Amino acid sequence: MPLMQVPGSEVFASGMRSRDEVLSSLPDSLTLHQADPQAAADLDPLTYEVVRHRLWAITDMMGQALKAMSGSLVVTDCNDFDVAITDEVGDVVQVGPYNTELVASTDLAIKWILQHRSENPGIAEGDMFLCNDPWVGGGLHQNDVALFAPLFHDGKLFAWTCAVAHQADLGGVSPGSWTPRAEDVFWESLPTPPVKIAEKYQLRRDVEDVYTRRSRVPKLVALDLRAKFGANMVGHERIRQLIDRYGAETVKAVMSRQLDDAESRLRAKLEQIEDGTWKAVSYQEQSMKGDRGVHPIVCTMTKRGTDLEFDFTGTGPQSGMINCTFTGLYGGVMSAVLPVLCGDIPWAAGGLRRCLSFKSEPGTLNNATFPSGVGKGSVASAWATTNAVTECLSKMLDTSNALKKEVQSVCCGTWDLCVMAGLDQRGNPFATMITDSMGAGFGAGSDHDGVDTAGLLLIPMGKMPDVEMNEFMLPMLYLWRREEPDTGGPGQYRGGVTASLCFVPHDTPVPMLQVVSGSGKSIPMNPGLAGGYPGSSQADIALRQANVAELFAQGQLPSSLLEIDGERITLACEDEVLLSPGDVHYMTWQSGGGYGDPLLREPARVAHDVAELRVTEDSARNIYGVVLQGDLTVDVAATEEHRRSLRERRRQLVKENA
């Protein structure tokens, strides 16, 4: 019996497998139900739209089912999960509207399953395959666990459904599986290539035990496994109902047409844009605890005809725990392409992908080779890839009068991660992630301001958790959570402002282990466009042995760090610390970049921002050049003079530095 290569060591990790390559590798025992080209061509428009919208609705129902069955705050309150429907070889027909980054690489994983699992152990009706291997796909780091379910009709493989969600803890040396000390993947959660965890629609207890044994919160992980199982069951039931009503050939023809239509509509849009090349660099700081380096991800995007090439040559070498695999690169690209370029095109990602090609060097930050550390890949190099691609796409759209309104400055440039573990207020062990930074400022467009605390570009249905729910589930008490002025990137159109929070441990007798992880504390990762300024940077601050209890006893609720006494510590980008009873933790995360020169912003809009506490008077004067009177109305003459002075100062600086 020949030995198989270990997933992650073979060439496939940095390449895309074609449909023909997959089909040629399948055993005769596995028969696929493929679309009849003539049936797709003969589809009447009404039937096509009805069935297409049914497939979209099925992904929504799958998502709602997953949320209803999950017990994880990350899923139930933040929508950090997603679902997908694919054709028989894994080409994604419909992406769910939740965290698109998670399911963008579904096709890579399903093609891998077809190539490596069809003969042994085989693929049959009622099987489901679990995977959290970032070198295979279906997620971007080990905490992203996907469950792939083949759907058969009349003995033929007809389609696949997929459900994937972030898990609170899957092992590794640090609770939450985020390990700032990681030197390679063996410090982190164990990557598991696709393994058959269900047969005949029954979970295999032996495989489930192997999976949940690694976690510090096995009951929660087991519950989420059943939630994903249930989501796939809902998908299968609804697709079968669709087949019963319209016929297998019609449903299959609609799926094929969806892929073709997505491709043709994207190509039609690209035809409106002149050929060209655009470049962006997204930086990350500190690849692991103790590192002081700055790590670039370089994207050079070239449009030729109706094709886009994403070339990441020049990206820094893999380092520490911030790397992602090719799966992360692919997911990072698609997470920008879907909302920025395809907001008016149905998200049949398998068809859109036909317009895209990739160049990347193995061993780099967003094409890491095994056994590099990739535990932070989803919110580090994959996210930075999304930033760079968003910037390139928007620069391209900005050259087209017809498509200029689709320009999108980078929104929250990174994830402010805070993982905590310890004993909760009920005396039970817990491990969780603070996910309030879901509410980040959106980037500005070419004709509008970014939305304040809108969310994240790559998670269309993401949301901030409810404060009361966090306090109910976790041993913490919020002092505040609020939007912060001057955080949105200044510009002719302003980036959306972001928020901050401050909390203390509450009703827990022991210190919590805390992992703090997030870049962009020195270098903004949310650049502006066309002269717009970047949004705010990120900050994590601890106050040790603070006097909050004394303030409470005096009837005071602090609303600023300046009102709290204690040893103040600014935490590094990557750190692992203890948060003791009596300590305070403060965090503020990045916002959206601006668009256009701030000195071109209408003064009345600046005055309105000041009145609404989005911009301070100092910033109105020093950045926007707007002079306000005591009643916050614009002093028109003083503003014109001040703006003239600021422009003259710019010219002098240019001369001095020439």
Token pair of 406 as six digits = 């689709």
Q: Which residues pair with 482 in a beta bridge?
A: 500
- Listed residue (73, 178, 53, 277) closest to 574, CA to CA: 178
Q: How far apart are CA 480 and CA 499, in angstroms?
A: 10
Query: Please, which pLDDT band fits residue 2 given cuts at 50, 70 and 90?
Result: very low
Rounded CA Rg of the chain:
25
User: In Å, what is the CA distance from 627 to each residue of 201, 532, 621, 623?
Assistant: 68, 20, 5, 11
Query: Please, which pLDDT band fits residue 441 given cuts at 50, 70 and 90?
Result: very high
pLDDT at 231: 98
pLDDT at 16: 60
**Using one digit for the tens of pLDDT, what is the confidence trace for 106-148?**
999 999 999 999 999 999 999 999 999 999 988 889 999 999 9
Query: Please, which pLDDT band fits residue 647 given cuts at 50, 70 and 90?
Result: very high
283-310 average pLDDT score:
95
DSSP state of 339: I
Alpha carbon of residue 270 to chain centroid: 25
Whether residue 7 has pLDDT greater than 60: no
Whether residue 4 has pLDDT greater than 80: no
445-462 average pLDDT score:
90
Location of structure tokens 């047409």: 257
pLDDT at 425: 92
Query: Please, which pLDDT band fits residue 9 given cuts at 50, 70 and 90?
Result: very low
Token pair of 274 as six digits = 């002149």
* Contact present, 501 and 466 (Cβ < 8 Å): no
Q: How far apart are CA 58 and CA 251, in angstroms?
A: 13
User: In Å, what is the CA distance from 49 to each residue of 10, 265, 579, 631?
Assistant: 41, 15, 54, 55
Element (H, E) at 166: strand 156-166
Q: How far apart are CA 35 and CA 259, in angstroms?
A: 12
Q: How far apart are CA 162 and CA 350, in angstroms?
A: 14
The secondary structure of 183-206 as a DSSP string is SSGGGSPPP---EEEEETTEE-HH
Residue 340 in 3-state DSSP?
Answer: helix
Domain ranges of the chain: 30-265, 413-598, 602-656
**Averaged pLDDT score across all residues of the chain:** 93
Query: Please, which pLDDT band fits residue 3 given cuts at 50, 70 and 90?
Result: very low
* Contact present, 93 and 150 (Cβ < 8 Å): no
Whether residue 12 has pLDDT greater than 60: no
Query: Please, which pLDDT band fits residue 14 given cuts at 50, 70 and 90?
Result: very low
**Using one digit for the tens of pLDDT, what is the confidence trace for 511-548?**
999 999 888 898 889 999 999 999 999 999 999 999 99
